[in-house]
Amino acid sequence: MKLEAIYHKPYSEFAFSIDPDTLVIRLRTAKNDINTCILIYHEKYDSSQRGKAKMKKVASDEMFDYYEVELNVGIKRIKYMFYLEDNYSIKWYSSDGFFDYMPQWGQFTHSYICKEDILEEIEWFRNSTIYQIFPDRFAKLPPDTSNLGNRTVHGGNIKGIIARLDYLVTLGVDVIYFNPIFKSESYHRYDVVDYYEIDPVFGDKRELKELIDLCHKNGIKIIFDGVFNHSGDKFFAFKDILEKGEKSKYVNWYHISSFPVEVYPRPNYECFSYYGGMPKLNTGNPETAQYLLDVVRYWTVEFGVDGWRLDAADEVDRKFWRKLRDMLKSLNRDTVLIGEIFDESSSWLWGDQFDSVTNYPLKAMINDLFAYRSVDAEIFRMRINSYIMKLNKKVLNSLVNVISTHDTPRFLTLCDGDEKRFGLAVVFQFTFPGVPLIYYGDEIGMEGEGDPDCRRPMIWDEAKWNRKNLELYRFLIDLRKKFDSLRIGEYGELPVIGCKGILAYRRGLGEDGIIVIMNTLDQKARITVETGEFFDAVKAFKSLKDDEMLAVERKRINLCLKPFEWRIYKASGELETLT
């Protein structure tokens, strides 16, 4: 038994409550090392209330197996340890380490299941599909609006979005996320000059209120982009420092190393990256923090904003995020907070800071499998399992799943224009746990390298649209609306016999379930997918042709997949399908 690989930590992703009566407990072991894993538990103060629960292996990655049990036994104060068997030995594992006998002391403890500590999912957000709009590049009205003499400005505005709102309603999206709209120096508006004003290039407040009201009338929520890590260098507080130096009353609003303030060759103040035009705000300063909290309150209350995507969230102190959350949730508990974090982000997702994050770690794995083709489906599957085991399972269905954003090359470009591989990634994005985000134009086949090429103006000439892509998006958006299992169903991999290039998984919710199978290879594959106890029988959404083979058997699917082909199945019945 490889003791060095065995790991558990209370009050973490290895032990958390999902409702007032249920504690999820996980254990990590070396891969293929343990035959039996049993949880031994008793009530914290009354050892006569005791029991055992067999733990199930729920996931494996490249190095480890993960065991899990959902413990619902009528007690809220729990002490516990693990009983382990391999082919040669038995061990008891407690907080004091490993024993050859069952120890009387040193158990792990979950002192009380507090309902206040249970993550509260925001139902409307978890059930949604997001559409991201880069305001300067989406639509403008009138169409011949001047570009204001700046070649980087394309004149997108609120009136243009209002004129194109029917397109988004028909597409079926539930949320619009706007990149910054506040008055700024640049076209991207991440260097805010005035947090209380709409950039005049974009429109005015009356038009913005009209747009938000129209969106709400059509069942579409609105998410603003909050840039609180840094301001622009023309923001009033920083301007005052430039004018008055260390005598400015705003000197503590920023992190300035010395005076006078210098921009070149490298700023002597902290900023976003090393760009002097975006000086870093000191959110640890109470005055700065309160100003920003008031900004968020203003737009949320006065304009009915439904959520905030928070830029460079991992560079801002967590005390500020907790204050922001407390303030917003006191106004409306269903206001969503999304942190922009490019790296592993689980520590922000325990109910005291963010409801969700932009899921770039998942995107990196999607890039590797579908775009770069640097891993096979088997490696991808194991890395997905590792990713899932880092998270409280109640947050998984609310993470924002992206394949393209304004900060990355468009995914079709990453795929070298290969529409089939692009389609596989989109199918995965919409059927894997999480909230899918569509970056404007992806649905019609837009391409683009990194910033600024990935921010090309939206194409409104329908003759240039990729209709096949558009129908795929409409199909998948509709599918998520119809099936609860695709929004809140639990994920599980399905064993595949015959080819490492096949990805197969399920989303289950009671008797409602979905199976997704895709061939990530450029060659035909004959395979068998073991559905186990998940389904007794399945029927395909997609119609079959004469040269295809589909044998639906009890607990097994045998089929032949063409290169880069995908299939979606459900437990029973049939649906009109995408062809």
Q: Given a cut of 50, is residue 544 above it in pLDDT?
A: no
Q: Per mean pLDDT, which range of 40-44, 562-566, 573-577 is the poorest? A: 573-577
Mean pLDDT score, 412-434:
98
Q: Alpha-carbon distance 391 to 386, whole Å?
A: 9
Q: Given a cut of 80, is residue 195 above it in pLDDT?
A: yes
Q: What is the pLDDT of residues 494-529, one digit of tens each?
A: 999 988 899 999 998 876 789 999 999 999 999 999
Domain layout of the chain by residue ranges: 3-117, 489-570
Write down the CATH number for the domain with range 3-117.
2.60.40.10
Per DSSP, what are the bridge partners of residue 132? 177, 439
Q: Alpha-carbon distance 550 to 32, whole Å?
A: 32
pLDDT band at 573 (very low <50, low <70, confident <90, very high): very low
Mean pLDDT, the chain, whole residue set: 93
Q: What is the pLDDT of residues 289-345, one digit of tens each?
A: 999 999 999 999 999 999 999 999 999 999 999 999 999 999 999 999 999 999 999
**DSSP codes, 404-470:** --TTS--HHHHTTT-HHHHHHHHHHHHHSSSEEEEETTGGGT----STTGGGPPPP--GGGS-HHHH
Q: What is the pLDDT of residues 155-186, one digit of tens each?
A: 899 999 999 999 999 999 999 999 999 999 99
Q: Is 346 exposed, middle or buried (0-12, 13-18, 19+ CB in 10 A)?
A: middle
List of residues 6+ apart from 323 with CB closer than 8 A: 289, 293
pLDDT band at 550 (very low <50, low <70, confident <90, very high): low
Q: What are the catalytic residues?
A: 311, 340
Could you tell me what percentage of the chain is helix, strand and coil, using 3-state DSSP and rounding each to the nearest 5? Answer: 30, 25, 45
CA R_g for the chain: 26
Asked if residues 566 and 519 have their Cβ atoms less than 8 Å apart, the reply is: yes
pLDDT band at 381 (very low <50, low <70, confident <90, very high): very high
With a pLDDT cut of 90, the percent of the chain lying above it is: 87
Per DSSP, what are the bridge partners of residue 179? none
Q: Given a cut of 50, is residue 537 above it in pLDDT?
A: no
Q: What is the pLDDT of residues 72-87, one digit of tens each?
A: 999 999 999 999 999 9
The pLDDT, as a whole number, for residue 534 is 61
Q: Alpha-carbon distance 436 to 481, whole Å?
A: 12
Instruction: Using alpha carbons, select from 244, 241, 238, 329 the residue that is nearest to residue 278.
Output: 238
In the DSSP assignment, the letter for residue 254 is B
Asked if residues 387 and 366 have their Cβ atoms less than 8 Å apart, the reply is: no
Q: What is the pLDDT of residues 443-500, one digit of tens each?
A: 999 999 988 999 999 999 999 999 999 999 999 999 999 999 999 999 999 999 988 8
Pick the CATH number of 489-570 from 3.40.50.1980, 1.10.510.10, 3.90.1170.10, 2.60.40.1180: 2.60.40.1180
The pLDDT, as a whole number, for residue 551 is 57
289-328 burial, b at 16+ Cβ within 10 Å, e below that, comes to bebbbebbeebbeeeebbbbbbbbbbebeeebbebbbebb
Q: Count CB neighbours of 267 within 10 A.
A: 20
Asked if residues 388 and 491 have their Cβ atoms less than 8 Å apart, the reply is: yes
Same fold, 3-117 and 489-570: yes
The pLDDT, as a whole number, for residue 509 is 80
Mean pLDDT score, 124-139:
97
Q: Given a cut of 50, is residue 135 above it in pLDDT?
A: yes
Amino acid at 93: Y
Mean pLDDT score, 559-573:
85
